[in-house]
Amino acid sequence: MTQVAAESVVPGTERTNPPAYDVDKVRADFPILSREVHGKPLVFLDSGASAQKPRAVIKAISDVYENEYANIHRGVHYLSVRATELYDEAREKVRAYLNAAKASEIVFTRNTTEAINLVASSFTGQRLKEGDEILLTELEHHANIVPWQLVAERAGAVVKPAPVDGDGIIDLAAFEKLLTPRTRMVAFTHTSNVLGIITPAKEMIKLAHDKGIPVLIDGAQSAVHLNVDVQDLDCDFFTFTGHKLYGPSGIGVLYGKAELLESMPPYQGGGDMIEYVTFEKTTFAKPPERFEAGTPHIAGAIGLGAAIDYVNGLGRDAVAAHEHDLLQYATAQISELPGIKLFGTKGEKASIVSFLHDDVHPHDVGTILDQAGIAVRVGHHCAQPLMDRFGITGTVRASIGLYNTRDEIDKLVESLDHVKEIFG
Ligand code: 7TS
């Protein structure tokens, strides 16, 4: 049986008197949710991979291209100045969303992956020597493993994972022990994309800081479901991706403490990141421009700003309460199904249910669900080391977004019952 307690509250989302949440009204904001798939109403339970977009985001993007588009930071003409204003406003919206101290601490990237690569290359890579260590955890997405391996290999450094237990909970004592005098960087996910488990980030950051080690938080999943406050967390870097937060793909965010970003060399060279260029020597702009070489995803940043407005408009606490209700509902229903094993049901969680059928391959389960109009992700979820830890090759993952309903969870459970009928 599952361990999700009825009263458990996602950290950072404690609430008093949540505002009424009208999920039907919310659903009406997402045009794609009214379409059918294989002749069935779409049940979209794959928001952990990428979320659907509300009309407000789609409109913000088309409005830019229809009315206010030009390149930014380089024109004296009206449209360039206007597009620059909108881009800067989007940066300010991200700053407020993360409660960063300054807008200059927010760098726009393509996605979480690029944000992590940027830090690995421009911050950690610069400081690594042979025999140094980078500490991750077994929960990580490949995006928070491979960039560190690339820089470690160049320096002769090693990447180590802090272990999790059989429920996917980080072993804090082991984590602390792995913080050695050779550890130059700690990087870990705030919320597992496979299990939905929320890591004790504040505690882990404190443990690392006590030993003078900087910390990057992979917030690709957490920025969507938790009230992230980078000052309260005291992380050195925080990364997330727009497309999981109901915004466009191709836009992501790196938050970095001002003094660290200022100390870092550019990640890529080109236009917009310089102060002065000669063939002999180039001087660089201050952050964040130093890290935004070339024409950025202007409409993407503005679309992300619109997504943040949208989520704030619904109320982050109200969204979290709704999602938490669905998570508990789904976990309870699925745990009742014979022949299905749930993964990661203990501890604080957000929006993800991962499971395996005793006899049916996850891809077959995914295909049968798809025939019923239900979109889930199956496979290793770009977290192969975690699959190895559990001795499996993949799971079926239902990830819940702010537009999902109990009725959709019922459909998922009915279809899982049907899987059993088909495979006997
Ligand atoms: N970190 C975590 C925890 C993630 O879940 C993902 C994407 C990433 C990093 C990379 O994000 P990107 O925007 O740079 O690609 N996770 C998933 C997923 O779970 N299914 O598809 C993508």
User: Do 289 and 324 fall within a single domain?
Assistant: no
272 C-alpha to ligand 1 centroid (Å): 28
Q: How many CB atoms lie within 10 A of CB 115?
A: 31
Tell whether 209 and 347 lie within a shared domain: no
Q: How many residues does the chain have?
A: 424
Beta bridge partners of 343: 354
**Domain finish residue from 257, 277, 312:** 312
CB 258 within 8 A of CB 101: yes
Ligand 1 midpoint to CA 296 (Å):
21
374 band by pLDDT with thresholds 50, 70 and 90: very high
172 & 263 share domain? yes
Residues 12 and 133 both lie in one domain: no
What whole-number distance in Å separates Cα of residue 64 and Cα of residue 186?
39
Confidence of residue 248 (pLDDT cuts 50, 70, 90): very high
Residue 153 has pLDDT above 50, yes or no: yes
Last residue of a domain, one of 312, 332, 359: 312
Whole-number Å distance, alpha carbon 323 to ligand 1 midpoint, is: 19
Cα 42 to Cα 58: distance, rounded to the nearest angstrom: 19
| Statement to judge: residues 34 and 80 lie in one domain | no
Catalytic residue among 119, 382, 400, 409: 382
Same domain, 132 and 33: no
Dump pLDDT digits (tens) for 324-338: 999 999 999 999 999
101-150 per-position pLDDT tens digit = 999 999 999 999 999 999 999 999 999 999 999 999 999 999 999 999 99
pLDDT at 17 over 80: no
Helices (H), 211-269: 222-225, 230-233, 258-263
Alpha carbon of 220 to ligand 1 centroid (Å): 6
Ligand 1 binding pocket, CB closer than 6 Å = 48-49, 111-113, 141, 143-144, 189, 193, 218, 220-221, 241, 377, 381-382
Please check whether residues 119 and 24 belong to one and the same domain: no
Same domain membership, residue 163 and residue 88: yes
pLDDT, tens only, 186-236: 999 999 999 999 999 999 999 999 999 999 999 999 999 999 999 999 999
Phi and psi based region of residue 278 (left: phi greater than 0; alpha: psi -120 to 50; beta: remaining): beta
**Global confidence as pTM:** 0.95
Ligand 1 atom nearest to CA at 377? 20
User: pLDDT for 25-81, tens place per residue?
Assistant: 999 999 999 999 999 999 999 999 999 999 999 999 999 999 999 999 978 999 999
Pair of tokens at residue 202: 């504040």
Q: Measured from the CA of 143, which atom of ligand 1 is nearest?
A: 9
Range of the domain at 80: 58-312
- Ligand 1 centroid from CA 139, angstroms: 12
Residues 6+ apart with CB under 8 A from 108: 91, 251, 252, 253, 288, 292, 296, 297, 301
| Whether residues 129 and 267 fall in one domain | yes
Report the CATH number at residue 205. Answer: 3.40.640.10
Domain CATH code at residue 391: 3.90.1150.10
Q: Which residue has the CA at smallest separation from atom 17 of ligand 1?
A: 49
> Do 303 and 337 share a domain, yes or no?
no
Average pLDDT over residues 256-281: 96
Q: Is there a contact between 256 and 236 (Cβ–Cβ < 8 Å)?
A: yes
| Nearest by Cα to 396 from 409, 377, 383, 414 | 377
Q: Are residues 325 and 283 in the same domain?
A: no
For residue 252, give the H/E element and its range. strand 252-256
Atom of ligand 1 at shortest distance to CA of 191? Answer: 3
Structure tokens at 362: 């996850």
CA 52 / ligand 1 centre spacing (Å)? 15
Residue 20 has a CB neighbour count (10 Å cut-off) of 8
For residue 239, what are the CA distances in angstroms to 70, 105, 275, 367? 27, 12, 26, 32
| Boundary residue ending a domain (291, 312, 333) | 312
Same domain, 356 and 373: yes
Residue nearest atom 6 in ligand 1 by C-alpha distance: 220
Confidence band of 12 (pLDDT split at 50, 70, 90): very low
Note whether 278 and 63 are within 8 A (CB). no
Q: Is 382 a catalytic residue?
A: yes
Ligand 1: which of 241, 354, 395 to mutate, most ligand atoms within 8 Å of CB? 241
Q: How far is CA 169 from CA 135, 142, 163, 197, 199, in A?
A: 16, 18, 9, 7, 8
Structural domain total, the chain: 2
The mean pLDDT of the chain is: 94
Residue whose CB lies within 8 A of the most ligand 1 atoms, among 382, 387, 397, for a mutation test: 382
